Amino acid sequence: MIQLGLIGDNIRRSKSPLLHRLAGELCGLDVRYEPLIPADLGLDFDAAFARCAESGYRGINVTYPYKEQVFARLAVGDAQTRSVAACNTVLFGEGAPQGFNTDCTGFAAAFRANFGNSAPGRVAMAGAGGVGKAIAFALAGLGAEELAIFDPDRRKGEALAAALRQSADLPVRLTPSVEEAMDGAAGLVNSTPLGMVGHPGSAFPTDTLKSARWAFDAVYTPVETEFLISARTAGLSILSGYELFFHQGVDAFRIFTGVEVDQPALRAALLRPEPAFAHSA
């Protein structure tokens, strides 16, 4: 039996437990995947992480708002992940827990699967937190022309810009408003919680979307966010947070198990009505 888990604050509707259990079934593995909300457990993040490390978990995923906090606890072998300084996938074993960022690899895979070899062009990004960092470095690898970042916490934007300038070939500018970031942008990226269940709204004003070519929302619960609905109405090509969810999950499953799941079969299984076990802890 392979015990996995997900630590995050707003994960009651997460499909990650289902994805990993179904991937296990397809690969002939007994995978159990437990959602872990620190507040519901009466623990802080550090205590919840320690419980997983000490109680036989093969690995965990880490989501908002802990991707940066977990980084200091991990041994990270990948240079890109060290530059991002945020991890969403942790593998336990001998020695220090190993940290990975499948948001970065997952976004790159999702972009190529949906847009082929098209270059991202100039990109405006709202939010410079954990997932924003991963997407920014993925955009650099995809050949983005420029990244304009808006985050109301300017320190986050400055930290991300500094990391990109140090280790990625991507021109970066910080802007005082999201409207200024959008000026001349071909792509729009939401890496804030806006649009998530419990966080209504959109990071991008509806009346300024038409000048862009494509839009991505890191939120996937719900898949149809206010931002993506508005972007589709404005004629933009859409990349949903579900695609990031799927590809980062496939990459994480490979790290946890060493096995490559059949992706079309997994997609089909995820579209079927959820079996009863998907609701168990």
Cβ neighbours for 258, distance < 8 A, ≥ 6 positions apart: none
Cis peptide before 222 (omega within 30 of 0): yes
User: What is d(CA 245, CA 267) in angstroms, rounded to the nearest whole number?
Assistant: 11
Active site residue 220: no
Burial 82-105 (b: 16+ CB within 10 A, else e): ebbbbbbbbbbeeeebbbbbbbbb
The C-alpha atoms of residue 237 and residue 158 are separated, in whole angstroms, by 29
Distance of alpha carbon 73 from alpha carbon 44, whole angstroms = 15
Choosing from 33, 57, 64, 66, the catalytic residue is 66
d(Cα 175, Cα 194) in Å, to the nearest integer? 19
Q: Residue 187: which residues within 8 A CB-CB, separation 6 or more?
A: 120, 121, 122, 123, 124, 144, 212, 213, 214, 215, 216
Catalytic residues: 66
